[in-house]
Structure 1
Amino acid sequence: HILETLESISDNKTAVKKFGIDFAVNVCEEIIRSGLCPGFHFYTLNNESSTITVLKKLGLWKRSIPKALPWRVIPSSKRYKERVRPIFWSNRIRSYLYRTSDWLIYPENKWNDYAPQVYKEVDDYFYKYLDNYDSEEELKNLWGNELNSLNDVYDVFGHYFSGKENKNGFKVTKTAWTQNKFDNSDKLTTFSEQEFLTINFQLNLNGVDSSDEKVGWGPKGGLIYRKAYLEFFTSRQNAMILKDLLLKYKQVNYNIINSDETENYTNCDEDKAIAIDWAAFPGEPIMQPTVADPISFKVWKNEAFSLWNEWAKLYEEESKSKRLLEYISNDYFLVYLIDNNFPNECCFWKLLEEVHLISKYSEQLSI
């Protein structure tokens, strides 16, 4: 039967492929009904699309795998009870694992019950290689063979968030700080052009089912909550305008800091971590797996600024490209914002638009 059917459609590749898929689905359905086999093993032979189609027809294809926590759990005997991490390293997990590898105990519930613990130092050589294995040529394709102005730097972030090809004809699939894609990429693209260079972002959630395919985590039957969080580099002018505007945004916790900590503006209590993610599960205590810890932020700040200098190493000494990146590292500010009013729409876009308008108005007055 199989050979006869294949001979009759041998000159039609699409029909042959469809027959193979339908036949595989029928065989798998018979095996499932028999109850004799707990699962399947497929050899894709470099044609995974057919296997995916079979799994979808069987109802076995899952676009997302249930997560125990909102961040990646490490199968380690030392860390198996770990339940809390700072949000700052959420896009540089290897770096966080290395920095905390000497800890004797890892936070299991509330961060403040275990902090502060000492983070391992990372020298300049390891900053790049902890989370980056690309060659210099590959990175220049993404981030520019040369940078002639600050706008060229802003364009790297803009192309990363927009997904559009850069002038080298490449899609910017990563920055020095992250390879993860964020929600609201259109807004992040726009604000990149306005000197807000985002390196971390998450939207707020209010009682989302823990089984949600996109943002769910933990056991079934739980409710997920999350505060909006935004972290970015910005110019001195923007930072000072932002600092003043935040006085009327009482629901926002913030930290605005420069690379050498000679300027550090915050309304956070240094001794208290702020819960960013939390969840309620039946019969369980409230879980708070992600926090913003002011002490950890200063450690992260050093790493975040150092990555500008790592980027600068792609270019020749005394080149304009290198000087531009070193200027940003020395003169820009690192900022994080937490909108505590999680049941309502995030206020960040309104706030940053105000900063931009005031900045532009100030520039016009100075002309």
Structure 2
Amino acid sequence: MRISQKLQRAHEEREDATFSFEFFVPKTSQGVQNLYERMDRMYQTQPEFIDITWNAGGRLSMLSTDLVATSQGVLGLETCMHLTCTNMPVSQIDDALKKAYDAGCENILALRGDPPINSLGEEEEWKPCENGFRYAKDLVSYIREQYGDHFDIGVAAYPEGHPECDCDDKLLLHLKEKVDCGADFMVTQMFYDVDKFLDWCARVREAGISIPIIPGIMPITSYPSFIRRTQWCQINVPDNFLELLEPVKDDDQLVRDVGTELMVELCQKLLDSGYVNHLHMYTMNLEKASLMILEKLDLLKRSNVGKDVIEPLEPLPWRKSLNPKRRNELVRPIFWQKRPYSYVARTSLWNEDEFPNGRFGDSSSPAYGDLDLCGHSLIRQSVKKSIELWSTPQTLDDMSNLVTSYLEGKLKCLPWSDVPLNHEVDDILKHLIDLNKHHIFTINSQPKVNGKPSTDPVVGWGPTKGYVYQKEYLEFLLPREKLPLFQEICQEHSDHLTYFAIDSQDNLATNHPEDSRANAVTWGVFPGSEILQPTIVEKASFLAWKEEFFTILKEWKLTFVEHKATESVNLVNHIIDNYVLINVVDNDFISTNDTIYDLLQQLY
């Protein structure tokens, strides 16, 4: 949704202010992964949108469009993409806009951009590149000409002047020109003098500029960075800021505490002024300082059960994509429950025709893209980070301990699980840990749920006044020699247990009926609507997931090869060669017994 529409709707529906976050493009692949994790956590605060900065030219500028696609398509965050004129011929601008459009992005912050930096780290004189634009207003006009009203277009505003223009009236004229060319909202440069800012707001309105004013809020995290940024941006620092910060400048914690109180006071004055009802937080890719300010302003949305954790109710049991191509998507295979990034990448080329009635089409067709859609590596951590997180397991007991650490929340991810576990597993946690102690390595699971309210803080999803259901599901790695006994057990309970089992050589065993296309393992019943079945198990998906899972193990092994951890290489080879990937569903969701665990105990 366009930002101006989101803000209008939000402020019509409630009285409290809204907020958003800005992130910049990291320089390393591990930095990108860390940023995704931070963005995912900050999603829980329910920002109206985030924005992603643009780096003029080179690899990082192209990475901006990748970040936008992921935040929109995987993380479900309304995203605004910065776009600058610096080092950007029209052909490159066209490419960036096309990628943003295809990703479902509907918001662009159109900027002239800063001058490029030379080899000495110094700013050069700003000049338009060949076949490029000189001013932001030209970029605004071009976007509007090419895409009509698809994009909401934001522009920069400078309440305390610009280094290249010392005339306030001329700056207001330039802002008015950008608005007249089609700008829908403005985001301001950072500032600390709130009185000066509000005087500027009055002048903006007097000049006939009526689009939303979104103030850029820069938290104070350390004294040197505070001074450096104010000098670089040439902005005024009120006396009381210096009087309070100067005495504690050598204590970063005190600086942050004092700075937070100052920024809370500044923001509250903004919100009381009538000019502003939205705050845009310059995060510098950090989270704590911004969240401290929003918390003290009482703008963070709390769950309805009094927890400290921020938990918005999801419309589906998985994060719904904001890419309009996926708006009909209401069903996903459970196998990618902990790997949403690779699932969305695999299906990124689908169109709306491939989500008939919310679920994908004929399972005999090639529904999933190639693995290389998922990026350079299926393991989203660098080799160094991988070793830091998971060390070098050398024995089956080491592997058990690794998975157990993830189950207990000591690890936030595993090579095959990109996201942390939630409290849904609490009821079956001791069983999962026991299985791993016996070298049955659990991959994915869910407990059975029989008609809990859709507002339940742990398993709830969808509209209120509904009820949700789940079949117990377990995915695990089983030593190959135990597969026959497992099959015998399932045969004895074939009235309610169904399974798929496959090894790395594609030897498949199953007791699923041949004519059964999909087995719904999660569903919801809501007033005035059809029953939703958003999570399923089915053969075609499982075969695609099997390919991905064993590829993940092989890539993980390569990190040990590079690290010269021979025993770890041997361990992963042993698992690939001697274990079978299995998923089993207990279709008796009414029974209160933990049937799957009780039966798997017979394999010990």
1:326 aligns with 2:570: no
The normalised TM-score by structure 1 is: 0.77
Deviation at 1:32, TM superposition (A): 8.0
**CA apart distance, 1:142:** 2.8
Where 2:452 maps in the other structure, the secondary structure is strand
Deviation string, structure 1 residues 31-59 (Cα, Å, up to 9, x no partner): 98998865555667999657656655765
Pairing 1:211–2:450 present = no
The structural deviation recorded for 1:99 is 2.4
Relative to the length of structure 2, the TM-score reads 0.49
Is 1:180 matched with 2:419? yes
Q: Distance in 1 between matches of 2:432 and 2:320?
A: 28
CA positional deviation for 1:337: 1.2
Match of 2:41 in 1: none
Q: 1:132 to 1:15 in 2, by over 3 A?
A: closer
* TM-superposition CA deviations, 1:241-300 (whole Å, max 9, x none): 222222333322212222223351323446420001111222111111111011221121
- Aligned match of 2:407: 161
| Distance in 1 (alpha carbons) for counterparts of 2:315 and 2:496 | 30
Q: CA RMSD in A?
A: 3.8
**Partner residue in 2 for 1:150:** 396
**SS of corresponding position for 1:117:** coil
- Residue 289 (structure 1) aligned with residue 534 (structure 2): yes
Of 315, 319, 337, the match for 1:90: 337
Contact 2:378–2:552, Cα closer than 8 Å, also in 1: no
Indicate if the aligned counterparts of 1:158 and 1:190 stay in contact, CA closer than 8 A.
no
Q: Which runs of 5+ in 2 are unaligned?
A: 1-239, 302-309
Aligned match for 1:231, one of 456, 475, 487: 475
CA 1:162/1:129 → structure 2, altered by over 3 Å: closer, same or farther? farther
With 222-231 and 244-253 compared, the bigger mean Cα shift is at 244-253
In 2: Cα distance, 1:178 partner to 1:85 partner: 16
**Do the aligned residues in 1 keep the contact of 2:346 with 2:374 (CA within 8 Å)?**
no
Decide whether aligned partners of structure 1 residues 15 and 86 sit closer, same or farther in structure 2, where only a CA change above 3 A counts.
closer
Q: Of the candidates 73, 76, 79, which is equivalent to residue 326 of structure 2?
A: 79
Deviation at 1:332, TM superposition (A): 0.7
Cα distance in 1, alignment partners of residues 440 and 375 from structure 2: 23
Shift of 1:77: 2.6
Candidates 372, 377, 383, aligned match of 1:136: 383
- Check 1:98–1:48 CA distance in 2 against 1; reply closer, same or farther (3 A cut): closer
- Map 1:15-26 onto structure 2 (within 5 A): none
Letter aligned with residue 266 of structure 1: N
State the Cα distance separating 1:329 from its structure 2 match.
1.0
How many angstroms apart in 1 are the aligned matches of 2:565 and 2:255? 61
Question: What's the CA shift for 1:304?
Answer: 1.4
Aligned in 2, Cα 1:288/1:192: closer, same or farther, shift over 3 Å? Answer: same
Q: Computing the radius of gyration over CA atoms, which structure comes out larger, 1 or 2?
A: 2
**Equivalent in the alignment of 1:310:** 555
Task: Please say if 1:278 is aligned against 2:517.
Answer: no
The amino acid of 1:275's aligned partner reads A
After superposition, the Cα gap between the structure-2 partners of 1:270 and 1:324, relative to the gap in structure 1 and judged at 3 Å, is farther
Show the counterpart of 2:546. 301
For structure 1, which runs of at least 5 residues remain unmatched after alignment? Answer: 165-171, 357-367
SS class of match (1:254): strand
Amino acid paired to 1:267: H
Could you say which residue in structure 1 is the equivalent of 2:237? none
Amino acid at match of 2:456: D
Residue 343 (structure 2) pairs with residue 343 (structure 1): no
Q: Which amino acid aligns with 2:406?
A: Y
In structure 1, the residue corresponding to 2:335 is in which secondary structure?
Answer: helix
Inter-partner Cα distance in structure 2 for 1:119 and 1:304: 17
Over 3 Å counting, the alpha-carbon distance change for 1:344 and 1:15 in structure 2 is farther
Q: 2: distance between equivalents of 1:198 and 1:128?
A: 25
Shift in CA distance, 50/217, structure 1 to aligned 2, threshold 3 Å: same
How far 1:177 moved relative to its partner?
0.9
Match of 1:193 in 2: 437
Residue 175 of structure 1: CA displacement? 1.6
* Maintained 8 Å contact 1:87/1:291: yes
Whole-angstrom distance in 1 between the partners of 2:524 and 2:499: 23
Structure 2 distance, partners of 1:132, 1:18, is: 38
Alpha carbons of structure 1 residues 262 and 41: separation in structure 2 relative to 1, 3 Å: closer
In the alignment, which of 464, 488, 496 is matched to residue 244 of structure 1?
488
Opposite residue 256 of structure 1, the aligned amino acid is A
Partner of 2:545: helix, strand, or coil?
Answer: helix
Pick closer, same or farther for the CA change 1:307–1:52 going to 2, 3 Å. closer
Q: Distance in 2 between matches of 1:108 and 1:27?
A: 50
Aligned to 1:365: none
Q: Deviations over 1:216-260 (max 9, x none)?
A: 222222222111211011112332222222233332221222222
Alpha-carbon spacing, 1:134–1:81, altered in 2? closer, same or farther (3 Å): same
Equivalent residue for 1:352? 600
Tell me the percent identity. 29
> How many residue pairs are counted as aligned between the two chains?
347
CA displacement at 1:189 relative to structure 2 = 2.5
Q: 1:107 aligns with which of 346, 355, 368?
A: 355
Q: d(CA) in 2 for partners of 1:80 and 1:90?
A: 19
Deviates more, 1:186-195 or 1:316-325: 316-325
SS of aligned partner of 1:199: strand
- 153-162 vs 288-297, which moves further: 153-162
| Cα displacement (A) at 1:192 | 1.2
Per-residue displacement from partner, 1:342-366 (whole Å, max 9, x unpaired)? 233332222222322xxxxxxxxxx
Q: In the alignment, what sits opposite 2:106?
A: none
Deviations 1:306-335 (A, max 9, x none): 222111112338934323212211221111
Compare relative contact order (CA 8 Å, sep 6+) and give the higher one, 1 or 2.
Answer: 1
Counterpart CA distance in 1 for 2:296 and 2:452 is: 28
The alignment partner of 1:261 has SS state of coil
Cα distance in structure 1, aligned partners of 2:263 and 2:369: 54
Indicate the larger mover: 87-96 or 275-284.
87-96
Check the 8 A contact 1:275/1:288 in 2, yes or no. yes
Is the CA contact (8 Å cut-off) linking 2:471 and 2:521 kept in structure 1?
A: yes
Tell me which amino acid in the other structure corresponds to 2:408.
S
